[in-house]
Amino acid sequence: MALPPWPTRRTSLAPVPLLGLLSGAGFLLSGCEGAQSALDPAGFNAREILFTSWILFIGGAVIFLFVMALAVWAVLAKGDRFPGARAWVIGGGILFPVVTLTALLLHEFALARRLVTVAETPALTIEVTGYMWWWDVRYRRPGAGPEEPALRSANELVIPTGRPVELLVGAADVIHSFWVPSLAGKMDMIPGHVNRLALLAEKPGLYRGQCAEYCGAQHALMAFHVRVLEPEEFDAWLAARNRPVTRPEDPVLARGYDAFFTQGCQSCHAVRGTPAVSTLGPDLSDMGARAGLAAGSFENNVGTLAGWIASAQHLKPGNRMPSFNVMDGETLRALAAWLESLK
Ligand code: CUA
């Protein structure tokens, strides 16, 4: 068998480090895109925050390099005198920091003001409450006061582009933190206190959010999605939320509907228009339309949902949902299929 020839010796090394550097940079930067990235903004807040981050990063890098160059110069300077030492100390040690830090402070004040006033007259108010380990979501109907019953959902927010949205965030048990890096900065969710986050989405898409404050064993599995729709699509979506859910005609789905009540799911969950009205657990009225399952822990489909119902404690130990592993396989699949049919 003929062996392959030895590789010939490279005569020039120049392109190799360059290619390596470029592909390395490409590899690193490819992590900056996607549904959960503060470096790939899809909203006003995230864009403003990113711009400020670049000012700080580039400014800090330039100052660091300049100071390092000065240090080298000082060490290598001939004699025991550093030329113009007094001017450098006064200029670089006092004047420059005072001027730059004051400018940065004013910039931050203006930025904070822009971020707060983005939704002075919000088109939509959503209350989000953090639980261990899921998110309760209530849309206040336009023009409705806080006392009127809201449209309820869980683990996914739907908002329109181009319309200012006000989020009122709180927590039911421990401190959580609401963070959708592609759309806005973090906001703490504190029990007994309501924090306000105003945001303006600019690009339609599906974005991922994550609890950003350690809140117990399943903190890492406390995620959610924000679905940003064009305004007309959003209006149609909101109008469709008024349709009550009824017992389906399809025999498999009807079996799933019945199983929901015989298994006692209504003790914790609500489904709009049915006798299930409990607010202990996530509202399931549009379960099938959500991107994620169990607060963004898994992709949402009939298979994962059936697995979740049967093994919730195995998949996310310590969460409040018991494993319902007493159903026969067909009933379990019918239950999952019915829940996934809710859009
Ligand atoms: Cu909720 Cu971490």
Domain total in the chain: 2
Residue 18 lies inside a defined structural domain of this protein? no
Q: Which of 287, 277, 283 has its CA nearest to residue 256? A: 287
**85-133 pLDDT tens trace:** 788 889 888 999 999 999 999 999 999 888 888 888 888 899 999 999 9
Q: What is the b/e burial string over 153-170, where b = at least 16 CB atoms within 10 angstroms of the residue's CB?
A: bbbbbbbbbeebbbbbbb
Residue 3 lies in a domain: no
Domain's final residue, options 242, 264, 287: 242
Binding site membership of 169 for ligand 1 (Cβ less than 6 Å): no
pLDDT at 116: 84
Closest atom of ligand 1 to 216 CA is: 2
Report DSSP state, residue 288.
G
Contact criterion met (CB below 8 Å) for 113 and 119: no
Atom of ligand 1 nearest to the CA of 222: 1
209 & 155 share domain: yes
Atom of ligand 1 nearest to the CA of 219: 2
pLDDT digits (tens, 9 = 90+) for 237-275: 988 888 889 999 999 999 999 999 999 999 999 999 899
* Domain co-membership, 169 together with 90: yes
Ligand 1 centroid to residue 213 C-alpha, Å: 5
How far is the centre of ligand 1, averaged over its atoms, from the C-alpha of 297 (Å)?
13
Q: Per the domain annotation, does 11 fall within a domain?
A: no
Of 8-22, 73-87, 218-232, which has the strongest mean pLDDT?
A: 218-232
222 lines ligand 1 (CB under 6 A): yes
Task: Give the contacts of 189 (CB within 8 A, at least 6 positions apart).
Answer: 128, 129, 130, 169, 170, 171, 175, 176, 177, 178, 195, 213
Domain annotation covers residue 4: no
Which numbered atom of ligand 1 lies nearest the CA of 175?
1
Taking all residues of the chain, what is their mean pLDDT, rounded to a whole number?
88
Domain around 183: 37-242
Whether 73 and 176 share a structural domain? yes
Q: Is the CB of 189 under 6 A from ligand 1?
A: no
Query: From the CB of 223, is ligand 1 less than 6 Å away?
Result: no
Ligand 1 and 296: CB distance under 6 A: no
Give the pLDDT band of residue 35 (cuts 50, 70, 90): confident
Percentage of the chain lying above the pLDDT 90 cut? 70
Any domain includes 28: no
CATH code of the domain covering residue 313: 2.60.40.420
User: What pLDDT does residue 71 have?
Assistant: 86
Find the 131 Cα to ligand 1 centroid distance in Å. 8
- End residue of a domain, out of 211, 242, 273: 242
The residue ranking higher by pLDDT, 112 or 78, is: 112
Q: What are phi and psi of 69, to 5 degrees?
A: -65, -40
Is this structure's pTM higher than 0.85? Answer: no
- CA-closest candidate to residue 299, choices 340, 343, 241, 331: 340
Residue 3, pLDDT above cutoff 60: no
Spatial separation of the C-alpha atoms in residues 296 and 312, rounded to whole Å: 14
Residue nearest to atom 1 of ligand 1 (CA): 176
Q: Is the peptide bond before 338 cis (omega within 30 degrees of 0)?
A: no
Structure confidence at residue 155 (pLDDT):
96
In this structure, are 263 and 238 located in the same domain? no
Backbone angles phi, psi at 327, to 5 degrees: -80, 150
Q: What are phi and psi of 260, to 5 degrees?
A: -55, -40
* Ligand 1 atom nearest to 212, measured from its CA: 2
Domain assignment present for 29: no
Residue 215 Cβ inside 6 Å of ligand 1? The answer reads: yes
Q: What integer pLDDT is reported at residue 13 of this predicted model? A: 42
More confident: 25 or 155: 155
Q: Are 315 and 307 in contact (CB under 8 A)?
A: yes
Last residue of a domain, one of 221, 242, 263: 242
- Cα four-point dihedral sign 275, 278, 282, 283: positive
Put residue 201 in one of left, alpha, beta given phi > 0 → left and psi -120 to 50 → alpha: beta
Which residue is it, tokens 């869980």? 154
Output the furthest CA–CA distance in the chain (Å, rounded). 95
DSSP state of 147: T
Amino acid, res. 164: P
Whether 201 is in a domain gets the answer yes
DSSP 44-79: HHHHHHHHHHHHHHHHHHHHHHHHHHHHHHHHH-SS
